[in-house]
Amino acid sequence: MVFGFATPAALLIGTPSWKSTLLLAPVLIYYVLMKLRLVVEHDSETKRWAAFFPELPGCASAGDTEDEAIQNAKEALELWFEPAPVDLPAGAKVLEVALT
C-alpha cells in the first residue's frame, strides 16, 4: 500500500469499475496532501457562522457555532471531492499533471 491506498494491481482484481478507481487514486493522494484556505465568518443577521473554501466553487457550509461551521465545512469538502463515475472510451489516455 502507498499512502494507505491499495496498489493498482490490487485495484484491478474484483473491482467492477477499476478504471474509475485508478483515476481516483491520484485525486485522493492530492486531496490528502493539499492544504486549502477556509474562510469562517459570523453572520449577524442569521446569528450563524458561515464557512467556505474560496478555491472550490460551491463548497460551503454553516453552523450555529464556529466549531460546528468548521466541522460541517470539512464534511462539505469530502463531498465536493467525491468522485463521479467515469467511462473511458477505447483509446483514451489518463494523464497526471502538476502545477509547478
Q: What is the pLDDT of residue 55?
A: 92
Q: How far is CA 46 from the centre of its chain?
A: 28
Q: Which of 1-5, 6-10, 52-56 has the lowest mean pLDDT?
A: 1-5
| Percentage with pLDDT > 90 across the chain | 41
In the chain the domains, ranked by start, together with CATH numbers, are: 23-80 (3.30.160.250)
Instruction: Give residue 68's pLDDT band: very low, low, confident or very high (50, 70, 90).
Output: very high
- Separation of alpha carbons 7 and 11, rounded Å: 6
Instruction: Give residue 9's pLDDT band: very low, low, confident or very high (50, 70, 90).
Output: very low
Quick: pLDDT tens for 14-58: 445 555 556 666 666 665 667 889 999 999 999 999 999 999 999
> Could you give phi then psi for residue 40, rounded to 5 degrees?
-125, 130
The pTM assigned to this predicted structure is 0.56
